[in-house]
């Protein structure tokens, strides 16, 4: 039987949140480069995700970094070797990172890739491999080349499948031998809540059909990517990933229970059901009917979905949520969704409700549902950290990690086939939801603030040593 000591422990970043260098090496502008930093109000997270054409036009006028934090990221573009050395010292088994589509294909529709982009990633793949870490690649983590948004309508357009296939072919031709695990898309269900981030859709009215058609195109692109990888990188394992919200009913009424089931299906499971089982689940028929959503799904699409299902399933998990038919409860923020407050849970500085047991529940549910190995590919605590004399004491993060690791251990005992755990934002990066640098997840501190001021020097937090020791001693901690 599998034990906790047998699973992989890792850390993750994403190109748009980490790299910066937004104009260097021939990179094209992408959707994240257009999201401004807005001082946080209660709805800042939502408003920075909904981009209008006016906001994009404004962003295009800004030549420099300005108040667009993704253009600077953590300046990973210029710190990559130092960061890989830090990850090696941390002792993680696996590094999850993503490729900027616009760095390889500045517009997105070119026939051939940008050679400087190839050189940049070639270096990363080889150095991570040399450092002895496995590679978990997210091929596309939110950022879509802006040209594809403005000239093709983002993923609403079937043409993007073709462009994505070209991108995928180049990735696997060049680095197939280094890739251990891969995801065609980060949190593929995000397109539903955050269409601009997820499928490159500029805000308009009445987008439901467009959103689901775009998601469908991403599902087909996922299947085609798996087909490509099977040929060019036969040893790599293909996955699908969703953001998990873990819905609890607010009360024991049958109505609240039904609401929890439905919310979980529509918000998170439907993408897993399609990509792991190879077809649209029956509950989506009613949802499409009742919401007047009409999709174009060809026979070839259905064949591809059926034939190229993923090898493993994976998810991000930060907090649990509440489902209720009553609309009057106190609301709180979470990853991608807003939820009714749970009086039994504490929350992070951003209102995300901390619930380690929810992680065990999600692991069990996902495994029961798919019977495929499960990878926790994102989890961690976004917090305000304070650096004094080069030291960062973050006992709250250590506590968060410890509590969640205990629940992973329980889930493994429950019989869930867990492949590994990947800590989100292992090096501080710009927040995807609220565009802040000061919402920090890392065990490595990056000296920069929300306005991009700072030295961008790296410092180890207390949690660095804690995670390092945990990985080194994992045999003793559990089992
Ligand atoms: C997920 C994304 C990440 C990420 C994380 C934390 O949705 O895949 O890119 O950043 O959530 O969210 P945030 O950065 O908003 O705190």
Catalytic residues: 187, 378
The pLDDT tens digits of the residues spanning 195-246 come to 888 889 887 656 899 999 999 999 999 999 999 999 999 999 999 999 999 9
List b or e across 143-161, with b for residues whose CB sees 16 or more CB atoms inside 10 angstroms: bbbbbbbbebbbbbbbbbb
Indicate which atom in ligand 1 lies nearest the CA of residue 336.
7
Ligand 1 neighbourhood includes 429 CB (under 6 angstroms): no
Q: Is 140 helix (H, G, I), strand (E, B) or coil?
A: strand
Residues in Cβ contact with 36 at an 8 Å cutoff, skipping those fewer than 6 apart: 48, 55, 59, 66, 67, 68, 435
**Ligand 1 nearest atom to the CA of residue 431, by list position:** 14
Q: Which is more confident, 186 or 476?
A: 186
Paired with 135 in beta bridges are 95
Whether the pTM exceeds 0.85: the reply is: yes
Query: How does residue 39 score in pLDDT terms, banded at 50, 70 and 90?
Result: confident
If one compares 136 and 326, the residue with the highest pLDDT of the two is: 136
Residue nearest to atom 4 of ligand 1 (CA): 432
How large is the angle between the packed helices 356-370 and 270-277, nearest 10 degrees?
40
What pLDDT, on a 0 to 100 scale, did the predictor assign at position 475?
59
Percent of the chain whose pLDDT exceeds 90: 86
Token duo for residue 234: 């036969």
Residue located nearest, by CA, to atom 7 of ligand 1: 335
Residue 295 C-alpha from the chain's centroid: 26
* Rounded Cα distance, 195 and 212, in Å: 10
For ligand 1, atom 15, name the residue with the nearest CA.
433
**Residue of minimum CA distance from atom 5 in ligand 1:** 432
CA triple 107-111-114, angle to 5 deg:
60
- 388 burial via Cβ count (<10 Å: 0-12, 13-18, 19+): exposed
What average pLDDT score do residues 335-355 get? 91
Q: Is 214 in the pocket of ligand 1 (CB under 6 A)?
A: no
Distance separating alpha carbons of residues 225 and 16, to the nearest angstrom: 21
Q: Is the pLDDT of residue 47 over 70?
A: no
Choose which residue among 73, 335, 429 to substitute to test ligand 1 binding: the one with the highest number of ligand atoms within 8 A of its C-beta.
335
- Contact 433 CB / ligand 1 (< 6 Å): yes
Assess whether the C-beta atom of 411 lies below 6 angstroms from ligand 1.
Answer: no
Does residue 229 line the site of ligand 1, with CB under 6 A?
no
Scan for tokens 């006028």, then name that residue.
Answer: 61
């Amino acid at each position: 039987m599998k034990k906790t000591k047998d699973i992989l422990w890792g850390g993750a970043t994403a190109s748009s949140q980490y790299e910066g260098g937004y104009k260097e090496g021939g990179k094209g502008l992408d959707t994240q480069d257009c999201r401004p930093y807005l001082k946080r109000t209660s709805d800042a997270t939502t408003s920075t995700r909904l981009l209008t054409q006016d906001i994009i036009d404004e962003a295009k006028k800004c030549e420099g970094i300005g108040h667009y934090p993704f253009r600077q990221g953590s300046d990973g573009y210029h710190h990559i070797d130092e960061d890989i050395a830090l990850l090696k010292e941390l002792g993680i088994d696996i590094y999850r990172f993503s490729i900027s589509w616009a760095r390889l294909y500045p517009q997105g529709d070119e026939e051939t890739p940008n050679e400087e982009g190839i050189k940049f990633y070639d270096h990363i793949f080889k150095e991570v491999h040399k450092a002895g870490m496995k590679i978990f690649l997210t091929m596309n983590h939110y950022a879509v080349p802006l040209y594809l948004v403005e000239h093709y309508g983002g993923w609403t357009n079937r043409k993007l499948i073709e462009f994505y296939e070209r991108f995928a072919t180049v990735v696997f031709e060049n680095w197939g031998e280094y890739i251990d695990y891969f995801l065609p898309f980060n949190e593929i269900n995000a397109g539903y809540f955050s269409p601009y981030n997820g499928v490159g859709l500029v805000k308009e009215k009445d987008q439901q059909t467009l959103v689901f058609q775009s998601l469908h195109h991403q599902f087909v692109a996922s299947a085609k990517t798996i087909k490509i990888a099977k040929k060019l990188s036969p040893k790599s394992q293909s996955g699908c990933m969703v953001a998990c919200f873990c819905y609890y009913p607010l009360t024991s009424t049958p109505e609240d229970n039904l609401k929890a089931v439905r919310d979980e299906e529509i918000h998170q499971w439907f993408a897993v059901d399609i990509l792991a089982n190879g077809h649209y689940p029956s509950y989506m028929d009613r949802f499409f009917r009742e919401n007047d959503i009409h999709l174009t799904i060809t026979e070839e699409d259905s064949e591809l979905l059926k034939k190229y299902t993923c090898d493993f399933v994976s998810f991000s998990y930060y907090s649990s949520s509440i489902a209720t038919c009553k609309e009057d409860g106190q609301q709180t923020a979470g990853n991608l969704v807003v939820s009714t407050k749970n009086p039994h849970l504490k929350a992070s500085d951003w209102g995300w409700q901390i619930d380690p047991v929810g992680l065990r529940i999600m692991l069990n549910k996902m495994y029961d549902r798919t019977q495929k190995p499960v990878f926790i590919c994102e989890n961690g605590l976004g917090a305000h950290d304070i650096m004094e004399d080069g030291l960062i004491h973050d006992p709250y993060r250590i506590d968060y990690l410890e509590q969640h690791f205990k629940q992973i251990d329980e889930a493994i005992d429950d019989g869930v086939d867990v492949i590994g755990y990947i800590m989100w934002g292992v090096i501080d990066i710009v927040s995807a939801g609220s565009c802040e640098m000061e919402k920090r997840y890392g065990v490595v501190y990056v000296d920069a603030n929300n306005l991009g001021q700072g030295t961008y020097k790296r410092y180890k937090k207390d949690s660095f040593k804690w995670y390092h020791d945990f990985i080194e001693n994992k045999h003793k901690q559990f089992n």
